[in-house]
Amino acid sequence: MNLDEYQREAKTFAIYPVDMNIIYPSLGLCGESGEVAEKVKKWIRDDGFIKTMMTNQPRMAPRTYEIEKELGDVLWYLANLATDLGLSLGAIAQLNLDKLEDRKKRNVIKGEGDDR
């Protein structure tokens, strides 16, 4: 499935007030991103995150599936925010890769600022 196909499908599950377009998915995106961070935090605290990373087997870690589900929620809110703004996830992804490639060519991947 490509990103634009996902975006079209995701919209079929969007049941939030039309007058809350942009606002609702923005807030949801923040909340779900926080849930991803919470899962990683608990992995660090409870399940030997560092040891898992050092063995190079994060996919086998017990918390990976839980994080994967939360990332799906992040993607859903991102897709619906993009739709509400009239944007394409595929175009957003390409724009981001183009920006990163330009920074890489100019040797400014590291650093600060949106316009570096």
Convert the pLDDT of each residue in 63-78 to its tens digit.
Answer: 888 999 999 999 999 9
> Considering only CA atoms, which of 12, 7, 16, 1 is closest in space to residue 89?
7
Question: What pLDDT does 61 receive?
Answer: 63
Q: Is 112 left (phi over 0), alpha (psi -120 to 50) or beta?
A: beta
Q: What is the pLDDT of residue 89?
A: 98
Look at residue 58 in the predicted model and tell me its pLDDT.
61
Domains of the chain, earliest start first: 3-105 (1.10.287.1080)
Under 8 Å CB-to-CB from 58, ≥6 apart: which residues?
Answer: 52, 64
pLDDT for the residue 56: 65
Positions of the chain with pLDDT lower than 50, given as ranges: none
CB 10 within 8 A of CB 65: no
State the pTM of this model. Answer: 0.86
- Residue 47, pLDDT score: 72
Reading the block at residue 107, the tokens are: 């040797």
